[in-house]
Chain A
Amino acid sequence: MIAIGLTMIYRVLKFANFSHAELVTFGAYTAYIINVSLGLNLFYGLVAAFFLTGLLGIASDRLVFKKLRSKGSSVISMMIASIGIGLVVRQSIQEAWGPQIRWFEFESKTYELLGGSITELHIYIIAISTALIFLLHLLFTRTRLGKAMRGVSDNPQLAMASGIDTEKILLWVWFIGGGLAGIGGVLRGADTRLVPLLGWEVLLSAFAVVILGGIGSFYGAILAAYLLGFAENFGVVLLSELSISTGYRPAIAFIILIIVLIFRPWGIMGKREEGS
């Protein structure tokens, strides 16, 4: 989810949005308010995280990126600005909730399945991700909004000439991309724990997924996310068998990333640069 949101924003706005990490964290803490402070079911937290993080995405665009865009800023300045936004949001979260570790409140049973075990939480995570991926696929292929989004990412000027209000489409991209980051944050927070660095910890992996899938390729990102997820989990087992510290776990993704990129520099599903 986190990588898909990142891909969407990258595809349409053409810059690497580092503040995506904080959208993830923000989503997780939004759900924390609903779940722990208000004592409601975590599911409501998930819904709230989607909407509020989506709105935060829109706010960051209106307050910062839109202004930079209208001045014709380079992608580098946009990227630096996004790091700045990330810092502000992260620090604000830390001020509000402190640096200590927090947990969501929910119960998760464990089931035996095919000789292994799976928790209720993991079943939910898989179900929610699959459903969202399916919905996104419908959005991009069946709806006018989705086609307009693809049009704007493909050729913004032509989109304008075709009567598409590009600024309005950008708002939707921020809303959905941000919302997905928020959901990703809640799921990650439920699976591990909540800390102000939650999003920052997964940002590098998310970038790895985006690059591995082929920059800007939505389906590539999905495939790569599953691939890296499995690789990390199997890798951890392998590491402990070889009695190497499992602290190397995050490195597994990058080793795979490097190997793939040596052989397919354009990613799993990305497009080859023309002429090569």
Chain B
Amino acid sequence: MILQVQDVEKSFGGIKALDGVSLSVGENTIAGLIGPNGSGKTTLINVISGFLRQDKGRICFEGKDISSLLPFEIARLGMCRTFQLTRIFRGLTVLENMLVSSNMQNEGLCQLFFNRKKMIMQEKADELAAGEILEFLEIDHLKYEYANALSGGQQKLLSLGMALMADPGMVLLDEPVAGVNPTLANKIFEKVMLEKEKRTFLVVEHNIDILMDFCDMIYVMNKGKIVASGTPGEIQDNETVIDIYLGG
């Protein structure tokens, strides 16, 4: 198991957003996380990626306890994320967006003076990698455009590209196809499928149909708890899930 979440709790004021959540994701799989609005999906992603600190419970990534690490430390360990409302660096070009996401470990000025050769080599390698990913996502023709000039769909693709840039072992995608047309949504998931042999994905999504097509394992959340889990086939027939989604 590449990711293990054990008994995680998180409250905001008196409201329990996460109430003893446990789940585990196997290597090189795509796991889906579904549930109605306010069921705690995004809170869980925020806790896993270090943006929120859980009140209780433990999170292990590749066997390491990451419960108390900061977001940038978790990213450097090889777990990247995207955000529900697409976040990109709007004032930077597409290529610069990619380069900034390349897990910069040595961002000091000193390296510039003392390690110049190595820096230039690294920069070249990063640029090459960025070009390949942009080509894979079919937005390489926009390389030198400023990111705020991109359409909504292109921005979604870019944010996916940025998450892949550091060659992470695991990617958390928070609604990667929200507000995207069905054709592009399918394309985005096809790209994710192609990446599966290299890494693991945990995807939060409202669009249940698309998850059914692409996920290996699905977790269903409601009111801060995991209420069901299983393969897409099992989830489809699960009565609790039908109840939640039909408002029963």
Chain A interface residues toward B at CB < 8 A: 143-145, 147-148, 150-151, 153-155, 157-166, 168-169, 172
Contact = CB atoms under 8 A, between A and B. Distances in A.
Given A143-B112, A166-B72, A161 B107 contact: no
B119 A150 contact: no
Given A144-B106, A154-B91, 7 more contacts: A147-B92, A155-B90, A157-B51, A158-B88, A160-B71, A161-B87, A162-B100
B228 to A, nearest CB: 29
21 contacts: A143-B112, A148-B100, A150-B91, A151-B89, A151-B92, A154-B89, A154-B91, A155-B89, A158-B87, A161-B51, A162-B100, A162-B101, A162-B103, A163-B80, A163-B103, A163-B105, A163-B166, A164-B104, A164-B107, A168-B108, A172-B109
Contact of B109 (A143, A160, A166): A143
Interface in B87-135: 87-92, 96, 99-101, 103-109, 111-112, 119, 123
Contacts of A153: 91
Given A148-B104, A160-B72, A163-B103, A154 B90 contact: yes
Interface of B: 49, 51, 70-72, 75-76, 80-81, 83, 87-92, 96, 99-101, 103-109, 111-112, 119, 123, 162, 166
Given A163-B75, A168-B107, A155 B70 contact: no
B70 A161 contact: no
A165 B81 contact: no
Contacts of B71: 157, 160-161
Contact of A160 (B75, B108, B112, B119): B75
Contacts of A143: 109, 112
B152 to A, nearest CB: 14
Classify the secondary structure of B's interface with A: loop
B90 A161 contact: no
Nearest to B96: A147
B107 A150 contact: no
B107 A159 contact: no
Contacts, number: 92
Nearest to A139: B109
Nearest to B112: A143
A169 B107 CA distance: 8
Nearest to A149: B107
Given A162-B75, A162-B162, A165-B72, A151 B100 contact: yes
A144 to B, nearest CB: 5
B51 A150 contact: no
Nearest to B75: A163
Contact of A158 (B83, B105, B112): B83
For A144, A148, A151, A163, which residue has the most chain B Cβ atoms within 10 angstroms? A163
A161 B71 CA distance: 6
A159 B100 contact: yes
B89 A165 contact: no
B107 A148 contact: yes
A161 B49 contact: yes
Nearest to B80: A161
A161 B100 contact: no
A158 B100 CA distance: 10
Contacts of B101: 162-163
A208 B135 CA distance: 44
A66 to B, nearest CB: 14
A272 B119 CA distance: 36
Nearest to A154: B89
A155 B51 CA distance: 14
